[in-house]
């Protein structure tokens, strides 16, 4: 996921098998990703932004949840849901072939990493 006060974007990044030590490398992972969902492409750009007129006011804290959808024990897509004060925006990605690669990655022990950056973090 990548976001700022004006935009929100999610992309899956699958990897090939890890090396002998169990590590994934930049060469074995798809850094461009596939199955991208963008707030603008989803037609929700007018509902997300800084200010009370938006369903998700990015000047205030909001929650983000990602659910992965399965069929026959493999991921087939995902849904990202943003919620704030009883309002929500839902973004969905349907990409059976690519998502199934992610199933294998997580089953093999890959972990999710989340970080939050503020402008002062970039200095």
Between CA 78 and CA 111 the distance in angstroms is 17
Query: What is the distance between the alpha carbons of residues 12 and 74, in angstroms, rounded to a whole number?
Result: 14
Evaluate if pTM is beyond 0.85. Answer: no
Q: Which pLDDT score, from 0 to 100, does residue 32 have?
A: 82
Question: Helix H segments across the chain?
Answer: 96-107
Measured CA to CA, the distance from residue 94 to residue 80 in angstroms comes to 12
Residue 115 has what pLDDT? 67
Q: Dump pLDDT digits (tens) for 9-40.
A: 888 888 887 788 877 777 888 888 888 888 99
Average model confidence (pLDDT) across the chain: 85
Query: Within a 13 Å sphere around the CA of 36, how many CA atoms are in the beta-carbon half?
Result: 12
pLDDT digits (tens, 9 = 90+) for 35-90: 888 899 888 999 999 999 999 999 999 999 999 888 888 888 889 999 999 999 99
Joined together, the tokens standing for residue 60 give: 């205030």
Rg of the chain over all Cα atoms, to the nearest angstrom: 16
Q: What integer pLDDT is reported at residue 120 of this predicted model?
A: 59
Residue 99: which of 78, 79, 113 has the closest Cα?
78
pLDDT at position 91 is 92
Q: Which two tokens stand for residue 87?
A: 């309002």
- The ranges assigned to domains in the chain are 2-122
Mean pLDDT of 94-103: 81
Asked if residue 108 has pLDDT above 90, the reply is no
């Amino acid at each position: 996921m990548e976001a700022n006060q004006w935009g929100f974007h999610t992309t899956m990044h699958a990897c090939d098998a890890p090396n002998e030590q169990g590590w994934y490398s930049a060469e074995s992972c798809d850094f461009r990703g596939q199955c991208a969902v963008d707030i603008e492409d989803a037609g929700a750009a007018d509902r997300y932004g800084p200010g009370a007129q938006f369903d998700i006011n990015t000047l205030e804290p909001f929650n983000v949840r990602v659910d992965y959808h399965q069929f026959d024990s493999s991921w087939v897509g995902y849904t990202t849901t943003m919620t704030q004060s009883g309002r929500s925006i839902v973004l969905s990605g349907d990409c059976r072939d690519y998502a199934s690669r992610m199933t294998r990655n997580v089953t093999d022990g890959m972990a999710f990493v989340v970080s939050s950056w503020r402008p002062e973090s970039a200095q």
